[in-house]
Structure 1
Amino acid sequence: MKSFNFLVIAMFLAITSCTIDKTDYEAETGSQVPESYEFKEAVSFTSGNYKITIDALNGTFYKGYNELHLKVVNTQTNQSINTSEITFLPIITNADGSKSSCPHDYNVAYDATNKYYGGYSVFTGESTTTASWKLYLSFTADNQKYEINKDITVAKQSNKNLNMTAFTGNDGEQYFIALISPQKPTVSENKIVAGIYKYNKPTTSAGTFPDPTQFSYSEVTGFTLKLDPRMPEPSMGNHSSPNNKDLVQENDGLYHGVVNYTMTGNWTLNLIMMNQNGLILKGTVVPTDFTPGVEGVKSELYIDTLF
């Protein structure tokens, strides 16, 4: 009986703490969870009679997943080009001179419905005084190939619901997981979308820079991302939620699932990534113990969120 009374008291304290934290987080939701749904010009390039513009959410490139809309216009005729193949290659140069890229659409396809070339880039780091990003693009017009490049700025992603993570799997391959939606979750069952990508190790030596074979990435296919969301703060006691659904790949190449947020606050998406054969490439099972006053244990693979 004594044990039962202690458990009831502990649960009451935890619930009280949840209520206090919920109120605090609701008060700061506006500043903590910015939303961007309007595409604006983030950068433009000019070569000869042609201008390329790249639109991104809020007119900004952010660390993490970026949906991109590209347009090529003949500045003499003001006509848009829709028959050319566009190549898109982002490269970051570090303080030691080393260069690398990030998951991206290299061959950007034309979207006839929306009248732009649609692509994406998962920038893996922010621009700093010691790390700079540059975009390399090419397209063909009037039987002539144009190759242009331009420095860009990648900003910090202040919305934790759009966080990303990079890691080496148990198979020795380099993987990337980027959250894409929801930007602003609600206290409910939320549809969650993520991209999972892999670095393609070069099979040949480098050619003329920037050789795209040295900076190649692809969407992984047929994986499963097992999901276990928890509230890791000590006051939350490793609180979880029911009715979550693991993320599986759909026809758009992205991974879709359901995350059930039962209250506002800090949440950790504990993940286990499994390949097509059900082998675990990264991630560990999280203890189910209710631990008020103790910070919750996180998976070996996780992404933090806040709303």
Structure 2
Amino acid sequence: MKEILFFLTTVCFVVLSCTKEKTDYEAEIDTVVPEYKEFKEAYAINSDGYKISIEALNGTFYTGYNEVRLEITDSQTNEKVNVSAVTFLPIRTNVDKRNVSCPHRYDLIDKPDDGYFSGYAVFTDRSDADGSWELYISFTIADQIHTAKQDISVHEQANKNMNMAMFEGKDDEQYFIALVSPQKPKVGENELVAGIYRFNKPNNPPSSDFPDASQFSYTEVSDYTLQLDPRMPEPSMGNHSSPNNKDLTQRSDGLYHGMVNYTMTGNWTLNFILLNQQGQILRGTLVPTDFTPGVEGVKSELHIDILF
């Protein structure tokens, strides 16, 4: 009887702890997890008689994944012009004068029905005393190439559901995983979307004036698999997982789609194992399946922490 009472007391403690954590996090959702749906102008550049309007969600660039929309109009008439190509290159200059970039779409995609060129940037660092960001843009009109540049501010991402990870794979390549969606998950099954990118190490020294895009090139990796094991690592949660999760695989949009089932609000860790086209592990480790109440959960060497 004593053993049974002790067991029931322990179970009650765990359940009450879960309820308390859930209540605390639910109270925090409205203020901690922002959700942006509207694109607004972040910067406007006037160059060679043309206006370049750069739009982003909330009109702000954040660390992590940012969808970018770019419109070009005649500065005098405000009418759209016939642009045949647009390039987009973000460069960060660190305090030591070293120049780096981040995953981005260099050749923007023309969306004629929507009236803009589409791309993205996965900013790896915010703008601060250690470094600043600048955009280098080129656009072609009537076979003439025009160039422009713009200092920009990149803010820290407050939404942990949009976190990212940078790491070196077992193939000695540099990789980036950036969460794209959902911005604000719900309890239950959520489509999980992420971008996976690899830095293309330059094979040759710069061949043109700064910035030479070949020195700052990134690839959307193709046909990889991102295995998923979500857990609640808080000691009171015992590092438990959830059913009906699906690994992330690539779709036609270049992004990786899967399914994550959040059984409650709170701290979650997305544990990953990244496999290449041949099924070889590039990064990540299996997480023990033990239920460990009172002990902080073990995480994969490749993981992203979120909160909702």
Residue identity in the other structure for 2:24? D
Rounded to whole Å, the distance in 2 between the matches of 1:79 and 1:188 is 46
Residue 5 of structure 1 and its aligned partner are, at CA, apart by 6.0
Which residue number corresponds to residue 296 of structure 1?
297
Residue 113 of structure 1 and its aligned partner are, at CA, apart by 2.2
- Residues 56-135 of structure 1 correspond to what in structure 2 (within 5 A)? 56-135=56-135
Deviations 1:56-76 (Å, cap 9, x if unpaired)? 000000000000110000112
Q: Structure 1 residues 109-118 or 276-285, which shifts more?
A: 109-118
Deviations 1:198-232 (Å, cap 9, x if unpaired)? 00111111122100000000100010000000011
Deviations 1:141-191 (Å, cap 9, x if unpaired)? 244321111110000100000000100001000000000000000000000
- Say if 2:169 and 2:282, in contact at 8 Å, map to a contact too: yes
Which residue number corresponds to residue 235 of structure 1?
236
Residue identity in the other structure for 2:164? M
Residue identity in the other structure for 1:197? Y
Rounded to whole Å, the distance in 2 between the matches of 1:214 and 1:259 is 36
- Say if 1:82 and 1:110, in contact at 8 Å, map to a contact too: no
- Say if 1:10 and 1:292, in contact at 8 Å, map to a contact too: no
Rounded to whole Å, the distance in 1 between the matches of 2:181 and 2:30 is 17
Instruction: Return 5+ residue gaps in structure 1 as ranges.
Output: none
Which residue number corresponds to residue 153 of structure 1?
153
Rounded to whole Å, the distance in 2 between the matches of 1:214 and 1:3 is 66
What is the aligned length?
307
Residue identity in the other structure for 2:58? N
Rounded to whole Å, the distance in 1 between the matches of 2:291 and 2:12 is 13
- Residues 100-249 of structure 1 correspond to what in structure 2 (within 5 A)? 100-207=100-207, 208-249=209-250
- Say if 2:46 and 2:75, in contact at 8 Å, map to a contact too: no
1:4–1:96 Cα change, 3 Å: farther
Rounded to whole Å, the distance in 2 between the matches of 1:52 and 1:243 is 45
Rounded to whole Å, the distance in 2 between the matches of 1:3 and 1:226 is 40
- Say if 1:71 and 1:81, in contact at 8 Å, map to a contact too: no
- Say if 1:47 and 1:148, in contact at 8 Å, map to a contact too: yes
Which residue number corresponds to residue 25 of structure 2?
25
Name the TM-score, length of structure 2 as normaliser: 0.97
SS of 1:79's partner is: coil
- Say if 2:136 and 2:149, in contact at 8 Å, map to a contact too: yes
Residue 14 of structure 1 and its aligned partner are, at CA, apart by 1.4
Name the TM-score, length of structure 1 as normaliser: 0.97
Which residue number corresponds to residue 13 of structure 2?
13
Instruction: Return 5+ residue gaps in structure 2 as ranges.
Output: none
1:239–1:151 Cα change, 3 Å: same
Residue 6 of structure 1 and its aligned partner are, at CA, apart by 5.0
Residue identity in the other structure for 2:258? G
Rounded to whole Å, the distance in 1 between the matches of 2:159 and 2:224 is 26
Rounded to whole Å, the distance in 2 between the matches of 1:277 and 1:106 is 28
Which residue number corresponds to residue 39 of structure 1?
39
Rounded to whole Å, the distance in 1 between the matches of 2:174 and 2:77 is 45
Q: Calculate percent identity across the aligned residue pairs.
A: 60
Rounded to whole Å, the distance in 1 between the matches of 2:180 and 2:13 is 35
Deviations 1:218-263 (Å, cap 9, x if unpaired)? 1000100000000111111112111100000011110000000000
Rounded to whole Å, the distance in 2 between the matches of 1:82 and 1:153 is 29
